[in-house]
Amino acid sequence: MDRAHRPGRYLAIVLTLAVLLSCQRSPPALATVSSLRLSPAGITQHPWLGLAPEEVEDRARERLAAGGSLAFRKGGSSPAPTDWKAVLEIAHVRALPSDARGAGSRAEVGLLLRLERGEERIRADAAGEHHFAPHDPQMRTEAFRRALDAALDEALRLVVLQLRASRKTEEELIADLSSENPEVRDLAIRLLTERKSAAAVEHLIPRLEDEDRNVQLRTIGALAEIGDPAAVTALVDATSHKDPGLVIQIAYALGEIGTEEAEAFLFTASTGHPEPAVRRAATEALESLRRRRA
């Protein structure tokens, strides 16, 4: 090849590589965090972790930033109004007996991660574990640090799930009610409740029969919070063949909504339900309903 053409060929290669590299760049972070602190309400130092509070904060900051979804501002840079503040609270550090998967003991660390921005709050409760041989102190320390990392990874997953959901439209959240993932369904219900979405009521009603109990309970609370009378008949119907725990929650929800149909059900349940706990809950809900009406 003529040497005169080589610079042009090299330039083309460089440009192609630049385009490929730009296409492979990571997507921008979902949130920027201006600070992370270890809450004094939890465990700030534990011999099994062998980390000072500042070391725990540094380890958490590094672990949470590794996924790319959270970006941490470097020290000295001014925070922006859109920045979040992170609070890490270590709830427990404990050794558990081995499960069926392995010998030895299990290191478990439980924590709470909160993101705060103005009135906004995102909360993630998580736990992580790692196996270790109890006779080896060094292995034990390493196991507890790995358990901490696993808990941070799980907390990050839950935070990212909430951050992404918070950006969804009402229609997208209603679609999430049919997700195969109960966490996604539960989160959609929570956000639709916060938005007081009347349009979601007819889509929430089928979730009263959800296979996941947490989703069922969240749905009952959502219908009570939104307060649409259109949900009363479905709530009353949902008390048939339900365990007393769910019926109690439905009774309180009906007391909050407070239609004539709700009052009639509560009166009947307060006097004739076979479960004493349900009768008490129905009586309380009925009295609350009548006080508000008066």
Let me know if 248 is exposed, middle or buried by CB neighbors in 10 A (0-12, 13-18, 19+): buried
Helices (H), 101-178: 137-166, 170-176
Strands, E assignment, the chain: 31-38, 70-72, 84-97, 105-117, 120-132
Least confident of 73-82, 83-92, 170-179: 73-82
CA distance 241 to 2: 86
| DSSP letter, residue 243 | -
Condensed to tens digits (0 to 9), the pLDDT of residues 195-234 reads: 999 999 999 999 999 999 999 999 999 999 999 999 999 9
Report residue 101's pLDDT band, with 50, 70 and 90 as the boundaries: low
Say what the pLDDT of residue 247 is: 96
Condensed to tens digits (0 to 9), the pLDDT of residues 235-286 reads: 999 998 779 999 999 999 999 999 999 999 999 999 999 999 999 999 999 9
| pTM of the predicted model as reported, rounded to 2 decimal places | 0.79
Which residue reads 């109890």 in tokens?
Answer: 134
